[in-house]
Every structure is written in structure tokens, then in C-alpha cells.
Amino acid sequence: ETGVTQSPTHLIKTRGQQVTLRCSSQSGHNTVSWYQQALGQGPQFIFQYYREEENGRGNFPPRFSGLQFPNYSSELNVNALELDDSALYLCASSLDINEQFFGPGTRLTVL
């Protein structure tokens, strides 16, 4: 069984640019959640997708957006990058509330 995978592993962008991060969920998992983990902090919930619809959102501005595809894979898009967007971005897939499986993350650096 393939676990949660994310790409790319690392990414360097400059302020104002746009970025797309990708996540492949674990087989059969229909829910994907995205989290932002700043250095030295716990992960913060960005949003969740269930069956291709946004299903809940944390305290992040609209320039953070996402998609979920019919195969349940997902993308996180961030527009107009700011220095504070530098973080580890984690994707988690799940089938139910008590089991969320995390990918290895994408390390984004904004210069």
C-alpha cells in the first residue's frame, strides 16, 4: 500500500511569485487536509477537501487555495508569496476523523 506522497521535496521562490504543491493521498482515502508548519511550531490547519469540495478552512487568506481531483490527489496553490510563507507544508489523507496519515512535506523557502 502506497502512503501519502508530496512533491516537490524542496522549493525556493521569491516574494510575489506563485507556487503549486502536490499531494497524492493514500489509496482509498477521500479526504485531504493541508497544514503549514513554521519553523519551531506545530502544524496549522489550512483547509480540507472531501470528494473534490473544500470542506473546511483555517485562518489563512484567500491567496491560499486548493484543488482535489477525482483520484483524491490534491494541490495547494499560494499566490503572491510573502516571506512568512516560508514553512514546511504537510498534506494528510484520511478516511475518518481518527486516522490522518501525513506525507513527508514540502519545504518552501521564500526569498
Partner 1 sequence: GNSVTQMEGPVTLSEEAFLTINCTYTATGYPSLFWYVQYPGEGLQLLLKATKADDKGSNKGFEATYRKETTSFHLEKGSVQVSDSAVYFCARVDSGGSNYKLTFGKGTLLTVNP
Least spacing, CB of residue 30 vs partner 1, in Å: 13
Give the contact letters, 55-84, x = binds to partner 1 (CB under 8 A), - = no. Answer: xx-x--------------------------
Report the alpha-carbon angle 77-79-85, nearest 5. Answer: 85
Pick one of 19, 103, 108, 110: the residue that binds partner 1 (CB under 8 A): 103
- Residue 24 interacts with partner 1 (CB under 8 A)? no
Pick one of 50, 60, 75, 86: the residue that binds partner 1 (CB under 8 A): 50
CA 15, CA 17: separation in Å to the nearest integer? 6
Q: Is 71 exposed, middle or buried (0-12, 13-18, 19+ CB in 10 A)?
A: exposed
Give the interface segment with partner 1, choosing from 22-30, 44-52, 65-73, 78-86 (CB under 8 A): 44-52
Pick one of 64, 76, 105, 108: the residue that binds partner 1 (CB under 8 A): 105
- For residue 87, CA distances in Å to 44, 68, 74, 84, 107 come to 11, 22, 18, 8, 6
Chain positions contacting partner 1, by CB under 8 A: 4, 6, 33, 35, 40-45, 48, 50, 55-56, 58, 90, 92, 97-105
